[in-house]
Chain A
């Protein structure tokens, strides 16, 4: 039962991820990405990582994708403009197809050649809120503090960029 649901989910995940790439409408692309990130969270649930699943939805599907949509709407490229940007990029397209093809071939080779061992049973409480918290605040306290600096830099960078535009 577990593997059937997994493959159903994985198929949906791949389909929505492909939709992100191939759909011509940017807003629909973004919504497909929301679906992809949500399905990824469901996969985390299957791995027993409940905390990560919830945070995945809150941060990626709920916060970062809102920014993506804002940017799409902020630019609001009209169809003519978008078409003009797309034209004359045949070389890029061919390059992208070749690059994507090579990556897909590599992945396929990897899956066919490398044996996947059966996963060991996770320890009790794995992926729950407590284990994540212990790892974060006891084992990796310094990286956690450094995250705040990273976030601070993001805040300052945003303000500087926005204010330069405004003036």
Chain B
């Protein structure tokens, strides 16, 4: 049963080593001359002002929630797509209702202007 995952585990190992070497190469091979100016964050030449981690628009948060809702919808579609031929017309009706309800949700969000970026 786990045989099919043997390749996945091995690939994880190889990939971790390769990417680890790629990320760490400069730490080992590169020179190290840290300085206060060099270690300043880049802000187009001026010394940085104020805290960098400011708060940002609520719209991004909205996008994240909508993403979860529609991601869950897509997740339901995968198993449905596999057995669709066996389900036939009842399966189609089930999914039309399901997608219909969520399409109504999308229409609501659209209408309310939650998808509009100004």
Contacts and interface: CB of A to CB of B under 8 A. Distances in A.
Interface of A: 45-46, 48, 51, 55, 58-59, 62-64, 66-67, 70-71, 73-76, 78, 129-130, 132-134, 136-138, 141, 144-145, 147-149, 151-152, 154-156, 158-159, 162-163, 165-166
Contacts of B114: 158-159, 162-163
A130 B82 contact: yes
B13 to A, nearest CB: 14
Contacts of B55: 74-76
A76 B112 contact: no
B25 interface: no
A130 B54 contact: no
Contacts of A166: 58
A148 B97 contact: yes
B41 to A, nearest CB: 16
B37 to A, nearest CB: 25
Interface residues of B, number: 44
A133 B82 CA distance: 8
Interface of B: 1-2, 5, 51, 53-56, 58-62, 64-69, 71-73, 75-76, 78-80, 82-83, 87, 90-91, 94, 97-98, 101-102, 104-106, 108-109, 112, 114
Nearest to B98: A148
Contact of A129 (B1, B56, B78, B109): B78
A84 B9 CA distance: 45
B62 A159 contact: yes
Contact residues of A: prevailing secondary structure: helix
Contacts of B56: 73-74
Closest 5 CB pairs of A and B: A133-B79, A148-B101, A155-B105, A133-B83, A67-B64
A64 B108 contact: no
A83 B91 CA distance: 54
Given A59-B71, A63-B68, A137-B94, A130 B83 contact: yes
Contacts of B61: 67, 70-71, 74, 162
Given A137-B91, A148-B98, 13 more contacts: A46-B2, A63-B71, A67-B65, A70-B61, A74-B58, A76-B53, A76-B55, A129-B82, A136-B80, A137-B79, A151-B72, A158-B66, A163-B112
